[in-house]
Chain A
Amino acid sequence: MAASYDYEDTVVPSQQQPDSLGYDPNFVPDSVKSFVVHLYRHIREKNVYEIHQMYETSFQTLSDRMFKDSPWPSVDAVSQFVDNDHVFCLLYREMWFRHLYARLSPTLKQRIDSWDNYCSLFQVVLHGVVNMQLPNQWLWDMVDEFVYQFQSFCQYRAKMKSKTEQEIALLKQFDQAWNVYGVLNYLQALVEKSMIIQILEQEKEGLEQFTATDGYDYNGGSNVLKVLGYFSMVGLLRVHCLLGDYHTGLKCLLPIDITQQGVFTSVIGSHITTIYHYGFANLMMRRYVEAIREFNKILLYIYKTKQYHQKSPQYEQILKKNEQMYALLAICLSLCPQVKLVDEAVNSQLREKYGEKMLRMQRYDDEAFALYDELFSYACPKFITPSAPSYEEPLVNYNQDAYRLQLKLFLYEVKQQQLLSGVRTFLKVYSTMSLGKLATYMEVDELTLRTILMTYKHKTHSVDSDGKIISNADFDFYIDDDMIHVVESKPAKQYGDYFLRQIVKLEGVMNDMDRIKLD
């Protein structure tokens, strides 16, 4: 049923019309036939390397050459070449829709069909009947695309003003499609069913191997459920961030130790998505130092490895997230000027991009607020309203609501901190000073100054996930009666971790050398 796409209810005119392009969903060019036949064979033979090649390279090449602005052939047309294999057809359709979303605008019907396809695919995986071994890249893309299509659907649905009667009828009829409960429960089910949390726990005790094999199963089993479950934790983090639920989002990610290498770092897209959302959630929870630290690490990583991804289909996406994270870093550092935490290479990039804006953001006048607004709006996730619209007249657009709420609350936080940069300026240059003197400098009375100083303390000390108080302050102070004593905090260098990494590396090198036979 799904393959015979009904283009009549398309909303996008001209280029979507099948006739104008001569797109025939049933025509299968030889190159496509050969593609599916080979891909099918490699999947059956569990040849991960070849699958990865075909998935990453051949699929893109064929798309660029033959399907630049039309969909791939329908699944019904190709199924005869792959023994009508049910799971393969689900995978093919998953790619089919992903390609459609990337290159064309999906119709409502197509959005609903894609949802159905994900449901079928995940159900097959959850029932444990899949015995394939798929590349991490592909499994990540599935979770990533699933969340993306959910987000895209919510944005689309929220633009009620421009909906036709047909579309509204379809929305009402298929109200379960991309339902927020459905989306969250699928991700949650993948996490639970895969037992991934337990696997990661056991790995710490050396009872299980997961990270060491990049999630692959070399004992004849399948990696699909396990790795999908693993990436679903990142998917949940992202969905919760889109909903504005930062606390729950971070909680979903807890089983993954992001300070270490892991399966999430084996795919660049997953690595970036994880850190972007992790950093953003920490920013919104006022844990600036944590956000700065992780943004710095990933930005440095991207800076060093960018050139290797130039040919990757994700390259543009990588660059975009890179820019957004610089904007978020600029925000964090304006609120919490811990430049020492930032690597020189990252810092010089940051100065180049935002140096001038960051200077102006320190002033906390109207212009500064406009800049905070601008950077936040540019770099924040695409927030969504998850609830179904009211179908009663008058139809209203509400696609901006969620974003506006988050922006407003963020700017409100900025507003509460506006006097702190003034305090900071004086703390930098004095080691002790009396309250009276500082009050005169800041042109406030002494009582107000006391509240400002306490605000500084409160805002620079965040509560971490264990309820412990963490200092984010670059300059700290204490008050003894009416004298302020200033203390500059020096960030502690983590030599321990560095040495541990080097020990592991050295061991690896020595093992490699042992393996070389000299004769």
Chain B
Amino acid sequence: MGIETQKQQSSVAEAVEQLVAVNPYNPDILPDLENYVNEQLNQRIFGFFHFASVNVNPITVVCHNQVSSQTYSLDANLCLLRLYQFEPERLSTQIVARILVKALMAMPAPDFSLCLFLIPERVVLCLNPAGNSLSHLVSWILRALRFTMVGEANMGLPDQCGFCGMNQEGDVPNVRNFLEFLNAIEDFATIIFYHFSREKISRFVQMEEQFKTLIVLSHYLETARFRQFWDEAAKSRHIVEAVPGFEHAIQAYALHVLTLSYQKVPRSVLAESINIEGLSLDKFLEHQATNSGWILEKGQGRGQLIILPQNEFNHPELKKSTADSIPLDHITRIFPILS
């Protein structure tokens, strides 16, 4: 069964990558890629549904197959973000958020930043002003501004931002005011931008609160602050729990960083990093000891120590010298001479 699922997973990943490889710049595959992202996250909800594959489109079959699997294809997700970047009016923030969660799970690979590089910030403002209606645009901007202002109390708004009162009175501004209004927003964004170096992460300007949370989570992971990460993740269950395997993936990343750094790690440090404590931790350690060669050492008076498996990063003497090896295709260049 386990092998079956694995096989299925890899074939799903292959099939979607195949589709992207054949159509790297084809807007028509956008819905298929969206399905792919949805399916890979909603498997638990849709797991019992039967998908009639009436469509001969390869990706639909792919989705059908991957219902009960966890697949991840960076290429497919980047391709979808690229299509959104080209046609922002088709962007679904929900799907972008899911892609970002998946990218977090791919740590230590830089997938999260790779995705962020492709998500334009002013999409909604410039190109999708909610049905082009002015009042929608205004309400969007005010919403954006509210997000922006979280934790901005000490920075203050620039003087020309008197328009904030406008909202309370409920007036829709005339176009002239509105232009000033936009300029003010731009100025404001610029100010935030220049204060960037002194900013805390929570001041990141983003179009959706959800994205902001994910960026905070990514920041904690990138700076190995696992305690803060797990606290923050607990507050945002609705985002991360939508994705099966999230907790496990982050634990794997934490273990990766720990094994890069430690030969022997104190139990408390390990517990905090992977957010497992007490009896469950004992069980986990036992499992690792039998399966992954961990050694548990009785601490002298202090806490327990765990000896992590050796690798070239925590035991530098294991590092293979690459100087002696030459790739074969470099040697092929002298074959004609040797013969």
Residues of A within 8 A of B (CB): 180-181, 184-185, 188, 204, 206, 243-248, 251, 257, 260, 284-286, 366, 369-370, 385-387, 389-390, 392-394, 396, 398, 401-402, 404-406, 408-409, 411-413, 415-416, 450-455, 457-459, 461-463, 467, 469, 471, 476-482, 487, 489, 492-497, 500, 503-504, 507
Instruction: Flag if B224 contacts A451 (CB, 8 Å).
Output: yes
Chain B 290-330 interface residues, beta-carbon cutoff 8 Å to A = 305, 313-316, 319, 321-326, 329-330
Extra A-B contacts (7), CB below 8 Å, given A246-B117, A416-B222? A245-B117, A285-B110, A286-B110, A389-B126, A402-B120, A451-B226, A471-B313
Alpha-carbon distance between A245 and B331 when the two chains are bound, in angstroms? 34
Alpha-carbon distance between A295 and B26 when the two chains are bound, in angstroms? 34
Q: In the complex, what residues of A have CB within 8 A of residue B85's CB?
A: 243, 386-387
Chain B 75-119 interface residues, beta-carbon cutoff 8 Å to A = 75, 78-79, 82, 85-88, 108-110, 113-114, 116-118
Instruction: Flag if A284 contacts B117 (CB, 8 Å).
Output: yes
Instruction: Flag if A406 contacts B109 (CB, 8 Å).
Output: no
Partner of A478, one of B196, B315, B332: B315
Supposing A286-B110, A455-B223, A469-B313 touch, asked if A411 and B196 sit within 8 A by C-beta, the answer is yes
Alpha-carbon distance between A503 and B305 when the two chains are bound, in angstroms? 54
Closest-by-CB residue of B relative to A456 is B261
Instruction: Flag if A181 contacts B129 (CB, 8 Å).
Output: no
Q: In the complex, what residues of B have CB within 8 A of residue A471's CB?
A: 313
User: What string of 1s and 0s marks CB contacts (under 8 Å) between B257-286 and chain A?
Assistant: 110111111100100000000000000000
Q: In the complex, what residues of B have CB within 8 A of residue A503's CB?
A: 334, 337
Q: In the complex, what residues of A have CB within 8 A of residue B118's CB?
A: 243-245
Supposing A247-B78, A450-B269, A493-B323 touch, asked if A408 and B196 sit within 8 A by C-beta, the answer is yes
Q: In the complex, what residues of A have CB within 8 A of residue B332's CB?
A: 204, 206
Q: In the complex, what residues of B have CB within 8 A of residue A497's CB?
A: 326, 330
Q: How many A-B residue pairs have CB under 8 A?
A: 189
Alpha-carbon distance between A30 and B322 when the two chains are bound, in angstroms? 63
| Residue among B193, B313, B325 with max Cβ neighbours from chain A (10 Å) | B313
24 cross-chain CB contacts under 8 A = A181-B27, A243-B82, A245-B82, A245-B117, A247-B74, A251-B75, A285-B114, A369-B197, A390-B127, A409-B116, A451-B223, A451-B225, A455-B223, A463-B109, A476-B316, A480-B262, A481-B266, A492-B321, A493-B323, A494-B323, A495-B323, A496-B324, A497-B326, A500-B334
How far apart are B328's CB and chain A's nearest CB, in angstroms?
10
Alpha-carbon distance between A518 and B263 when the two chains are bound, in angstroms? 69
Alpha-carbon distance between A325 and B283 when the two chains are bound, in angstroms? 53
Closest-by-CB residue of A relative to B179 is A394
Alpha-carbon distance between A454 and B261 when the two chains are bound, in angstroms? 6
Closest-by-CB residue of B relative to A257 is B329
How far apart are B190's CB and chain A's nearest CB, in angstroms?
9
Alpha-carbon distance between A257 and B113 when the two chains are bound, in angstroms? 26
| Residue among B322, B332, B337 with max Cβ neighbours from chain A (10 Å) | B337
Q: In the complex, what residues of A have CB within 8 A of residue B26's CB?
A: 181
Closest-by-CB residue of A relative to B24 is A188
Ranked nearest first, the 4 interchain pairs of A and B with the lowest CB-CB distance are A454-B224, A492-B323, A496-B326, A369-B197
Supposing A243-B118, A455-B222, A455-B223 touch, asked if A461 and B313 sit within 8 A by C-beta, the answer is yes
Instruction: Flag if B261 contacts A457 (CB, 8 Å).
Output: yes
How far apart are B317's CB and chain A's nearest CB, in angstroms?
9
Q: In the complex, what residues of A have CB within 8 A of residue B324's CB?
A: 496
Residues of B within 8 A of A (CB): 24-27, 74-75, 78-79, 82, 85-88, 108-110, 113-114, 116-118, 120-122, 126-127, 129, 132, 175, 178-179, 182, 193, 196-198, 219, 222-226, 257-258, 260-266, 269, 305, 313-316, 319, 321-326, 329-335, 337
Partner of B314, one of A246, A401, A409, A478: A478
Alpha-carbon distance between A406 and B89 when the two chains are bound, in angstroms? 21
Supposing A185-B25, A478-B316 touch, asked if A244 and B322 sit within 8 A by C-beta, the answer is no
Q: In the complex, what residues of B have CB within 8 A of residue A245's CB?
A: 78, 82, 114, 117-118
How far apart are B77's CB and chain A's nearest CB, in angstroms?
10
Instruction: Flag if A500 contacts B333 (CB, 8 Å).
Output: yes
Alpha-carbon distance between A175 and B337 when the two chains are bound, in angstroms? 56
Instruction: Flag if B88 contacts A416 (CB, 8 Å).
Output: no
Alpha-carbon distance between A204 and B331 when the two chains are bound, in angstroms? 11
Closest-by-CB residue of B relative to A286 is B110
Alpha-carbon distance between A246 and B81 when the two chains are bound, in angstroms? 13
Alpha-carbon distance between A514 and B335 when the two chains are bound, in angstroms? 20
Instruction: Flag if A478 contacts B262 (CB, 8 Å).
Output: yes
Alpha-carbon distance between A188 and B79 when the two chains are bound, in angstroms? 15
Alpha-carbon distance between A214 and B25 when the two chains are bound, in angstroms? 30
Partner of A462, one of B25, B110, B117: B110
Alpha-carbon distance between A1 and B116 when the two chains are bound, in angstroms? 44
Q: In the complex, what residues of B have CB within 8 A of residue A405's CB?
A: 117, 120-121
How far apart are B104's CB and chain A's nearest CB, in angstroms?
14
How far apart are A336's CB and chain B's nearest CB, in angstroms?
15
Supposing A481-B305, A494-B323 touch, asked if A406 and B315 sit within 8 A by C-beta, the answer is no
Alpha-carbon distance between A421 and B324 when the two chains are bound, in angstroms? 32
Alpha-carbon distance between A185 and B27 when the two chains are bound, in angstroms? 11
Partner of A458, one of B108, B197, B219: B108
How far apart are B283's CB and chain A's nearest CB, in angstroms?
24
Closest-by-CB residue of A relative to B269 is A450
Supposing A409-B113, A411-B196 touch, asked if A416 and B219 sit within 8 A by C-beta, the answer is yes
Q: In the complex, what residues of B have CB within 8 A of residue A411's CB?
A: 196-197
How far apart are A442's CB and chain B's nearest CB, in angstroms?
15
Supposing A411-B197, A451-B225, A454-B224 touch, asked if A396 and B182 sit within 8 A by C-beta, the answer is yes
Closest-by-CB residue of B relative to A493 is B323
How far apart are B293's CB and chain A's nearest CB, in angstroms?
17
Closest-by-CB residue of B relative to A510 is B337
Instruction: Flag if B86 contacts A181 (CB, 8 Å).
Output: yes
Alpha-carbon distance between A477 and B337 when the two chains are bound, in angstroms? 45
Instruction: Flag if A246 contacts B114 (CB, 8 Å).
Output: yes
Q: In the complex, what residues of B have CB within 8 A of residue A408's CB?
A: 193, 196
Instruction: Flag if B27 contacts A394 (CB, 8 Å).
Output: no
Instruction: Flag if B260 contacts A461 (CB, 8 Å).
Output: yes
Supposing A469-B313, A471-B313, A507-B337 touch, asked if A244 and B117 sit within 8 A by C-beta, the answer is yes
Supposing A243-B85, A500-B334 touch, asked if A204 and B329 sit within 8 A by C-beta, the answer is yes
